[in-house]
Chain A
Amino acid sequence: MLLAFLLASLLAQDSSSVGRPPTTAVERQPRTIAIDDALAERAHLKVGDRVSISAGAGTVGDTVIVGAIVRRGADPSEVARGDLRVWMHLDQLQAVAGYGDRVDRFAIAATPAADIPQLIDRVNGIAFGFKAYRSRDIAVETSRTFQVVSRFHRAIGIITIVASSVFLLCIMVLKVEERRRDIAALRLMGISRATVMRAVIIEAAVVAVLGSALGVAIGWAISLVVNWHYQALYQTPLAFSIVTPPTVAFAVSLSLVLGIAAGVMASLRLVRTPPLALFGR
């Protein structure tokens, strides 16, 4: 929330304006801040630019120098918000925002050998006015938005799989039906049902394998395009689509199973029909 104040003031000022005049020798040397790349682009700022930073629009602020431009990490919950970020020295932010000797939170890195749950308990035991949490637990809490999107994707995925299964079944049945005369001719020649079915199923399997391979290639290419598009759109390094070996294995297995099942279904129907009937007599 503090950042909102800062954001408002940063946008309101341009890089050539200065804040309240320095009163001490120390103050004469402006301090540095870091800004994120989105802000740098939007406000046309570069390293070395002077800006004035304050807690409210129209109020006099501190003059600072842009010391660094930071590329933001991939945080899914912030992707679409379009927030702009500034990093400052803690004491300066406290002074500018009138916050006093306060912070919103502490982040603690424990030694590799530390027992985290014990540490948390000890901190909470002596805590006065704050509570300690494991970072991982906080991340779960704050990623509810992302969880919802995840669930939605999964639901869409399930629906797509069901839909694809129906389509695949339809098309395979149609294509096998197209071969009814060939099948009839083979049966009339004395080829057994089992041999005919085997031939059809092998054909269906080959088509399924080739189709799966092509599908994986197309899916991988689309994944690249999706990431390229959304990373540019939201200016984030977040990967929106990842093709993993388990995903590929699942998709290929499913399409193989469905393709072969469709082939079996259709060929069963046809070998059970008397050959002459297949010729339309």
Chain B
Amino acid sequence: MRAALAQASLIRHRARTVLAVLGVAVAAAMLLDMVMLATGMRESFRELLLSRGFEIRLAPKGTLPFDTDATIPGVSAIIATLRKNPDVREISPVLGASIHVLAGNRDVSGSALGIDPSVQGDYELLSGRDVTTPDALVANDHLLRQLGARVGDTLNIATGYDPQTRTYSGQRKLVVTGRVKFIYGASDQSSAAMRRETLVGMNGQSRDRASLFMVRVRSGADAEQVRDWIDKQLPNVTAISIATAIAQVDERLSYFRQLALILGAVSLFVGFLLVTTLVTVSVNERAGEIAVMRAIGVSRSHVVEQIVLEGVAISFAGAVLGLALGLVTARYLNTILSAFPGLPMAIDFFLFQPRAAWSALGLLIVSGIGAGIYPAWRAASLPIAESLRREAIA
């Protein structure tokens, strides 16, 4: 009976109910977006880091991977040291460098990774062959488009350029053997990859140096423990576990998390305010009805229950509508933030997780209950005789 009364009451004032549901929907959409923003980056980044299964990264001391042009000396010694730990399963040294692709009078610059194709974790092969030979090169679509090149073409690559003499150094002809997608690459970056020995050979300065090591631990091993071990064994590098990397990125992007928290709280508050206003207006109008219900013997708590149900119904309907709206706005906002320069394409700021949706829904329902309780309780507690008298006068 109470649910029926609540439903009938909402239908009685259709326009008002629709407006309130719309208002709650907007609040719900924003709340959902903020919950997605607060957790999205971290989860998205974690998925990205784990996508190839390398749990630890070694970067030059005091830096994050590819933050600077610094390199780590003594690759062979480092690999030998790392192999001493039985929990270390695979080591992938990576060398980063800038390259110039010379095409006639044009010089297209980009970045290159020198890798070991058997253990690399930086790209996915889309078509063609991996860099199995010393003169092989794989490139992303952005670079190939800029050059108008295809798989099978030969490119003239240089790793150095002296602006004073306008000459190129470290030149070599490489054959494009495959098209790839760089996992950590930004959407507007021209990138290529070749065997590390090839890049080392071209870039004379960086013999036996690497920009980064990626380390995969044995399954079941504690990555943090291995990280700590590496820290002690190799004091000249910074060992970064996924947790540390996430924490560092978190710190850099903490602004968005805080913004998400604040806007989320404001949305929830406004939604609460809306429902409480609606319920207050509704009970004020029905003061007489409520007094009569009490007079005929309906208990206070049952009266409150019916009124609160109305608030919950609006919150629920608004939340469901808001979910759809929130997904649309999240996609729009994500598109804006994806334009961050240097941001890996795979990072999403707004990641939809069912848990986020449930949290938002739960918060709204609780807020709906809370919003209805006080005005309902007040209305149900008014002295019956006085309410009836006031209604008679009115």
The answer to whether any beta carbons of A and B sit under 8 Å apart in the complex is: yes
Select from chain B the residue with minimum beta-carbon distance to A81.
B252
Most buried by A among B23, B163, B164, B332: B23
CB within 8 Å: A-B pair count? 114
Q: Using an 8 Å CB-CB cutoff, how does the interface string of B370-382 with A read, 1 for contact, 0 for none?
A: 0000000000000
Q: Does A250 contact B (CB under 8 A)?
A: no
Q: Does B8 contact A (CB under 8 A)?
A: no
Contact in complex: A4, B68 (CB < 8 Å): yes
Given contacts A4-B63, A152-B336, A129 and B164 within 8 Å (CB-CB): yes
Contact in complex: A169, B19 (CB < 8 Å): yes
From A129, A160, A167, A230, B166 is in contact (CB under 8 Å) with: A129
Q: Is the interface of A mostly helix, strand, loop or mixed?
A: helix
How many Å from the CB of A229 to the closest CB on chain B? 8
Q: Using an 8 Å CB-CB cutoff, how does the interface string of A156-198 with B read, 1 for contact, 0 for none?
A: 1001101110110111011101101100000000000000000
B222: which A residues are within 8 A, CB to CB? none
Given contacts A58-B236, A166-B23, A7 and B62 within 8 Å (CB-CB): yes
Contact in complex: A148, B68 (CB < 8 Å): no
Q: How far is the CA of A258 from the CA of B162 in the complex (A)?
A: 62
Q: Does B89 contact A (CB under 8 A)?
A: no
B296: which A residues are within 8 A, CB to CB? none
Interface of chain A residues 1 through 32 with chain B (CB within 8 A): 1, 4-5, 7-8, 11-12
B236: which A residues are within 8 A, CB to CB? 57-58
A82: which B residues are within 8 A, CB to CB? 251-252
Interface of chain A residues 134 through 154 with chain B (CB within 8 A): 144-145, 148, 151-152
B340: which A residues are within 8 A, CB to CB? 145, 148
A230: which B residues are within 8 A, CB to CB? 255
Contact in complex: B62, A8 (CB < 8 Å): yes
Given contacts A57-B61, A81-B252, A174-B277, A181 and B336 within 8 Å (CB-CB): no
From B251, B267, B284, B336, A151 is in contact (CB under 8 Å) with: B336
Select from chain B the residue with minimum beta-carbon distance to A143.
B341
Q: How far is the CA of A158 from the CA of B24 in the complex (A)?
A: 17
A11: which B residues are within 8 A, CB to CB? 62
From A7, A170, A233, B19 is in contact (CB under 8 Å) with: A170
Q: How far is the CA of A152 from the CA of B68 in the complex (A)?
A: 27
Q: Using an 8 Å CB-CB cutoff, how does the interface string of B63-87 with A read, 1 for contact, 0 for none?
A: 1000111100000000000000000
Contact in complex: B333, A163 (CB < 8 Å): no
How many Å from the CB of B356 to the closest CB on chain A? 17
A233: which B residues are within 8 A, CB to CB? 254
Contact in complex: B281, A175 (CB < 8 Å): yes
Chain B: how many interface residues by the 8 Å CB criterion?
A: 50
Q: Does A95 contact B (CB under 8 A)?
A: no
Q: Is the interface of B mostly helix, strand, loop or mixed?
A: helix
Q: Does A43 contact B (CB under 8 A)?
A: no
From A80, A156, A164, B254 is in contact (CB under 8 Å) with: A80
How many Å from the CB of B39 to the closest CB on chain A? 17
A1: which B residues are within 8 A, CB to CB? 68-70
Interface of chain B residues 258 through 302 with chain A (CB within 8 A): 259, 263, 267, 270, 273-274, 277-278, 281, 284-285
B273: which A residues are within 8 A, CB to CB? 167, 171
Q: How far is the CA of A174 from the CA of B251 in the complex (A)?
A: 44
Chain A: how many interface residues by the 8 Å CB criterion?
A: 42
B27: which A residues are within 8 A, CB to CB? 163, 167
Contact in complex: B333, A156 (CB < 8 Å): yes
Given contacts A170-B22, A174-B16, A178-B281, A159 and B62 within 8 Å (CB-CB): no
Q: Does A99 contact B (CB under 8 A)?
A: no
A106: which B residues are within 8 A, CB to CB? none
Given contacts A163-B27, A170-B22, A177-B16, A148 and B163 within 8 Å (CB-CB): no
Q: Does B91 contact A (CB under 8 A)?
A: no
Q: How far is the CA of A155 from the CA of B328 in the complex (A)?
A: 13
B16: which A residues are within 8 A, CB to CB? 173-174, 177
Select from chain B the residue with minimum beta-carbon distance to A12.
B61
Interface of chain A residues 185 through 242 with chain B (CB within 8 A): 230, 233
Q: How far is the CA of A212 from the CA of B329 in the complex (A)?
A: 27
Q: Using an 8 Å CB-CB cutoff, how does the interface string of B46-69 with A read, 1 for contact, 0 for none?
A: 000000000000001111000111
Given contacts A4-B68, A4-B70, A8-B61, A166 and B22 within 8 Å (CB-CB): yes
Q: How far is the CA of A58 from the CA of B74 in the complex (A)?
A: 14
Most buried by B among A58, A82, A155, A163: A163
A57: which B residues are within 8 A, CB to CB? 61-62, 236
Q: Does B165 contact A (CB under 8 A)?
A: yes
Given contacts A145-B341, A152-B337, A155-B333, A178 and B19 within 8 Å (CB-CB): no
Select from chain B the residue with minimum beta-carbon distance to A55.
B70
A175: which B residues are within 8 A, CB to CB? 277, 281
Contact in complex: A152, B333 (CB < 8 Å): yes
Q: How far is the CA of A58 from the CA of B237 in the complex (A)?
A: 11
Select from chain B the residue with minimum beta-carbon distance to A4.
B68
Given contacts A1-B69, A163-B270, A155 and B62 within 8 Å (CB-CB): no
14 A-B pairs with CB atoms under 8 Å apart are: A4-B62, A4-B63, A57-B61, A81-B252, A128-B163, A155-B332, A156-B263, A162-B26, A163-B29, A166-B22, A166-B26, A167-B23, A177-B13, A233-B254
- B-to-A contact residues, CB < 8 Å: 13, 15-16, 19-20, 22-23, 26-27, 29-30, 60-63, 67-70, 162-166, 236, 251-255, 259, 263, 267, 270, 273-274, 277-278, 281, 284-285, 329, 332-333, 336-337, 339-341, 394
Other than the given A80-B252, A152-B337, A156-B259, 6 more pairs (CB < 8 A) read: A11-B62, A12-B61, A80-B253, A80-B255, A173-B19, A178-B284
